[in-house]
A and B are shown apart, each in its own frame.
Chain A
Amino acid sequence: MALDTAVRAAFERVLDPRDVLSDPVKCRAYECDGLTGYRVRPDLVLLPRDAAQVAAAVRVCHEHGVPFVARGAGTGLSGGALPVADGVVISVARLKSVLEVDPVNRRAVVQPGVTNLEITAAAAPHGLYYAPDPSSQQVCTIGGNVAENSGGAHCLKYGFTTNHVLSCEVVLADGSVVTLGTDTGEQAGPDLRGVFLGSEGTLGITTAVTVRLLRAPESVRTLLADFPSIAAAGDVVSDIVAAGIVPAAVEMMDTLAIEAAEEAVHAGYTVGVPAALVVELDGPVEECDAQFELVKAICEEHGCTRLHIAGSPEERAKIWKGRKAAFAAVGRISPDYFVQDGVVPRTRLAEVLDRIAGMGEEAGLRVANVFHAGDGNLHPLVLYSAAAGETERAEELSGAIAELCVEMGGSLSGEHGIGTDKACSMPKMFGEEDLATMHRVRAAFDPDGICNPGKVLPTPRLCGERPGKYKPHPLEESGAIERL
């Protein structure tokens, strides 16, 4: 059932009527995010120009019981910005001003439509930068980063979006505007900013974000190392950690990912090697140099077949270009692919990658791996051909890999979110009481359930089954934890 004309008129009273899109052709551009397999055409798309218009639009939704989905750049990979039938999309793409850069206090206030990289660009003249760096940082918005609690290659050392957002101005489901968090991150009472971050748009829409900026490190050292096996590369990661070094980044790629990246950007990777590591250290020059020598020695101890040290900022950029382009590059070696996003304890990396390889063989599909090895965040890319009728098999394999991560004591998602894609897998990771408690939190923010319904938490409608049926957590099965 389409939204009635009274609702549309109400939106046109609070926004410029030209900013209320209802033409089905125009609305079709908003029917999915980066997870293109799920599509729902919204009835209306709203393009507010400032925070007051966002709040006014949400108030109309509240008054008329219309569900809404906030949308930034639409680069999400879990269907978090999938529209709701009979609902509206509220795009924050026009709220793209850097409101303030405060070098003295090392923070910036930005609107949600500002891209991740634009924050660093605004901070750079002051010798500052914004640390969380998703691979999509050129295009993804800070509003989306807040919704997904985004990560990236440098989060092992520096933390995730939640560690760098001091406060958010938020429009709640009833259209009221509140500030969550403070100028310092110091709280007086429960940390509402913390629970809002990563809630995937289900608790409200952020209209301004105050982020912490860091001083650019004095020294950065980057190396690319090839290994005869995934296990050897994994041992290097373990030994670096055991040596008390916290690298700025440790990224691993397997044969297929290396081949794809090299074909796409000619970053100087060695095609054919079983595993490559990108290790980056940063900090004061003395510490950085001393630890870098140690990292090189650890690589050599584990049979490193080639050690390439970036000798200039250009060479460093090239190494990173290969890594960051890897997802897209996989398109060169396969007509289609799914990007999965699961996390395992770092010490189980080799075991999990073995299992994934076996599962791929069983399904008759290739799986490329490129991932954040330092924090165990895997990104298996399941390669398939839709034309050859492999879609369903690939989808099944991708889902099974995510659930394998949970079985290994990890998580369904490290940075892409649960969204629509994995809501039905949530009972694999959480028990009935855990999910029921999350529902209670959600209802406290949004009693009528109009904020991005159907995302994160499983619903009977979404999954075709009753949610929350108890299944033991893998840690319970192993005896590490007890269920009551």
Chain B
Amino acid sequence: MNSPLTHPAPTTTLRPTDLAGVRDAVRDTPGRIAVAGAGSAAGWAGALEPVDAVLDVSGLSGVITHNPGDMTVSAHAGTPLRALVEELSEHGQHVCIDAARIADGATLGGLVATGDAGPAALVHGTLRDLVIGVTVVLADATVARSGGHVIKNVAGYDLAKLLHGSHGTLGVIAEVVLRLHPVPQRTATLVVDAPLARAAEIAARVLEGPFEPAALEWVSDGSGRLLVRVEGTDEALPARVSRLREVLGGASATDIVSGERHSHPTTSGESAVRSEDPWLRHAELTRGTPDAAVLRIGAKPSVLPGLVSELAPAAATVGLGTGVATLSLAPDAVADAHRRVHAVGGTSQLRARPPGADAPAWGPPPSALPVLQALKHALDPDGRFGPGRFSPWM
């Protein structure tokens, strides 16, 4: 969602263009600071309380080092992921994340800070699984690095993980190092029209078999469809698709050229071609509608379909293998949804909400809340960064 910040306009906007500038901005600016990137998740998590300054990192953009042979890249946090993927594609490589808002310009740092991910999480996990190094500026202007430029590395604490999902409350992410994967030669998606319960049965059969789906999502905006994505070589994929089609009971299949799922239709011609891409619809439904609250939930795959049915969302994308779903709900249904998800051992967090809506961002606190609070105090003792984002937890 491109929703504007909902608090009174801050007095200062800081736009550093390099790491030194971020450090100086944090050191020389007193008071409370919000970190901003492309703004594609500005309204996510708890509503931001008034701040004294906004630190806009979108000027920190671009690749720092790309080592194609090592399949690693380091980039500034304000780099739009779409731009990064485009640059890497020349080398036949990509970052294995397909979060819906990448098409809206979401930045690398923002994707880490919000813990966002898309259907590819089934195989590759979230960015926390792809980040191998990070540089962060803390509230006292300390510049700290952890990890490095090699994929196998256990030296020191993995601070990138701590920043993943921190919503800008622990530090300003300035640089990120990622592991890359080869772009598959061919991608195909099989589509089956099915209500959720039946889609879940089919998904279970797919997961029990040797098909190694790259994504397995049910989408609904009234009627439901199961999307099964497989990736592989030009030579071998057709035979796999044909085996999979038998298990699905006669699905229609859409061949999609690799790399397009990060693209955003910009011209009517492109739009017409890509309207057949079911993943664009998936991304739209994940973003939600302007009048709905969008809740991201996670639960065991076996309980997720029942939970989603119970919550009766207006629109939904449901990862039947990942156990992660994104639901469009009426704002006044959010508090109850948090409780229901928690009751089955799941987690939930609010993403977008309509302007003025008063939906709670978080469900019951985790058992480790005292540790979270201690970490916040250790890294940002004066509570400078992102006030309100984790309200009422901290």
Interface stretch (choices B51-59, B78-86, B144-152, B267-275): B144-152
Docked-complex contact B233 and A445, CB < 8 angstroms: no
Please name the residue on chain B nearest to A204 by beta carbon: B371
Minimum CB–CB distance from B88 to chain A (whole Å) comes to: 13
Within 8 A of B (CB), among A149-188: 149, 151, 155-156, 159-160, 162-163, 170, 172, 176-180, 182-188
CB contact between B349 and one of A180, A188, A191 (< 8 Å): that residue:
A188
A-contact 0/1 string along B133-176, CB 8 Å cutoff: 00010100011111011111111111111111110001000010
Docked-complex contact B70 and A186, CB < 8 angstroms: no
If A412-B155, A482-B20 touch, whether A186 touches B347 (CB-CB below 8 Å) is yes
Cβ of A375 within 8 Å of any chain B Cβ, yes or no, is yes
Please name the residue on chain A nearest to B373 by beta carbon: A444
Docked-complex contact A433 and B152, CB < 8 angstroms: no
Docked-complex contact B378 and A440, CB < 8 angstroms: yes
Docked-complex contact A434 and B146, CB < 8 angstroms: yes
Docked-complex contact B155 and A411, CB < 8 angstroms: yes
Cβ of A225 within 8 Å of any chain B Cβ, yes or no, is no
Minimum CB–CB distance from B54 to chain A (whole Å) comes to: 22
Interface stretch (choices B35-43, B189-197, B204-212, B220-228): B204-212
Cβ of A218 within 8 Å of any chain B Cβ, yes or no, is yes
If A183-B345, A218-B210 touch, whether A411 touches B148 (CB-CB below 8 Å) is yes
Docked-complex contact B181 and A191, CB < 8 angstroms: no
Please name the residue on chain B nearest to A199 by beta carbon: B157
Docked-complex contact A195 and B159, CB < 8 angstroms: yes
Interface stretch (choices A29-37, A65-73, A414-422): A414-422
Cβ of A426 within 8 Å of any chain B Cβ, yes or no, is yes
Residues of B within 8 A of A178 (CB): 366-368, 370-371
Cβ of A75 within 8 Å of any chain B Cβ, yes or no, is no
Interface stretch (choices A251-259, A281-289, A390-398): A281-289
Residues of A within 8 A of B159 (CB): 195, 437-438, 441
Docked-complex contact B371 and A192, CB < 8 angstroms: yes
Residues of B within 8 A of A102 (CB): 300, 302
Report the separation of the CA atoms of residues A410 and B322 in the bound assembly, to the nearest whole angstrom.
Answer: 32
Residue with the highest number of chain B CB atoms closer than 10 Å, among A184, A217, A242, A475? A184
Cβ of A387 within 8 Å of any chain B Cβ, yes or no, is no
Minimum CB–CB distance from B138 to chain A (whole Å) comes to: 7
Cβ of B64 within 8 Å of any chain A Cβ, yes or no, is yes
Report the separation of the CA atoms of residues A182 and B128 in the bound assembly, to the nearest whole angstrom.
Answer: 14
Cβ of B383 within 8 Å of any chain A Cβ, yes or no, is no
Report the separation of the CA atoms of residues A102 and B366 in the bound assembly, to the nearest whole angstrom.
Answer: 23
Cβ of B15 within 8 Å of any chain A Cβ, yes or no, is no
Residue with the highest number of chain B CB atoms closer than 10 Å, among A127, A287, A457, A473? A287
CB contact between A414 and one of B152, B166, B300 (< 8 Å): that residue:
B152
Minimum CB–CB distance from B225 to chain A (whole Å) comes to: 22
Report the separation of the CA atoms of residues A193 and B115 in the bound assembly, to the nearest whole angstrom.
Answer: 14
Report the separation of the CA atoms of residues A127 and B142 in the bound assembly, to the nearest whole angstrom.
Answer: 49
Residues of A within 8 A of B368 (CB): 170, 178-180, 192
Residues of B within 8 A of A287 (CB): 232-233, 236-237, 240
Q: What number of B residues sit within 8 Å (CB to CB) of A? A: 95
Cβ of B313 within 8 Å of any chain A Cβ, yes or no, is no
B-contact 0/1 string along A325-362, CB 8 Å cutoff: 00000000000000000011111000000000000000
Residues of A within 8 A of B164 (CB): 187, 190-191, 194
Docked-complex contact A345 and B302, CB < 8 angstroms: no
Cβ of B298 within 8 Å of any chain A Cβ, yes or no, is yes
Residues of A within 8 A of B65 (CB): 480
Please name the residue on chain A nearest to B232 by beta carbon: A287
Docked-complex contact B148 and A429, CB < 8 angstroms: yes
Docked-complex contact B346 and A345, CB < 8 angstroms: no
Residues of B within 8 A of A151 (CB): 152, 154
Residues of B within 8 A of A377 (CB): 152
If A191-B128, A194-B164, A287-B236 touch, whether A372 touches B152 (CB-CB below 8 Å) is yes
Docked-complex contact A244 and B367, CB < 8 angstroms: no
Docked-complex contact B162 and A194, CB < 8 angstroms: yes
Cβ of B363 within 8 Å of any chain A Cβ, yes or no, is yes
Docked-complex contact A190 and B375, CB < 8 angstroms: yes
Docked-complex contact A194 and B155, CB < 8 angstroms: no
Residues of A within 8 A of B146 (CB): 430, 434, 437-438
B-contact 0/1 string along A460-484, CB 8 Å cutoff: 0000000000000101000011111
A-contact 0/1 string along B320-342, CB 8 Å cutoff: 00111000000000000000000
Cβ of B129 within 8 Å of any chain A Cβ, yes or no, is yes
CB contact between B150 and one of A194, A245, A376 (< 8 Å): that residue:
A376
Please name the residue on chain A nearest to B204 by beta carbon: A104
Report the separation of the CA atoms of residues A191 and B159 in the bound assembly, to the nearest whole angstrom.
Answer: 9
Report the separation of the CA atoms of residues A445 and B374 in the bound assembly, to the nearest whole angstrom.
Answer: 7
Residue with the highest number of chain B CB atoms closer than 10 Å, among A179, A246, A409, A416? A409
Which A residues contact B (CB, under 8 angstroms)? 102, 104-106, 127, 148-149, 151, 155-156, 159-160, 162-163, 170, 172, 176-180, 182-195, 197-199, 215, 217-218, 238, 241-242, 244-246, 283-287, 289-291, 343-347, 372, 375-377, 409-418, 422, 426, 429-431, 433-438, 440-445, 447, 456-457, 473, 475, 480-484
Please name 10 further chain A to chain B contacts, defined as beta carbons within 8 Å, in addition to the given A286-B235, A347-B67, sorted by A numbering.
A178-B370, A186-B298, A286-B236, A289-B236, A411-B154, A414-B152, A429-B148, A430-B155, A441-B159, A484-B19
Which B residues contact A (CB, under 8 angstroms)? 18-20, 23, 64-65, 67-72, 74, 92, 115, 125-126, 128-129, 136, 138, 142-146, 148-166, 170, 175, 181-185, 204, 207-208, 210-212, 232-233, 235-237, 239-240, 296-302, 322-324, 345-349, 362-363, 366-368, 370-372, 374-375, 377-379, 390, 393
30 residue pairs A–B, Cβ–Cβ below 8 Å: A105-B302, A151-B154, A170-B368, A178-B366, A178-B368, A179-B366, A186-B296, A186-B347, A190-B163, A190-B375, A191-B164, A192-B368, A194-B160, A194-B164, A244-B184, A287-B236, A343-B150, A343-B152, A345-B69, A345-B72, A409-B149, A410-B150, A411-B148, A413-B154, A414-B152, A418-B156, A441-B379, A481-B74, A482-B18, A482-B19
The 7 closest A-B pairs by CB, nearest first: A194-B161, A186-B298, A218-B210, A244-B182, A286-B236, A437-B144, A184-B323
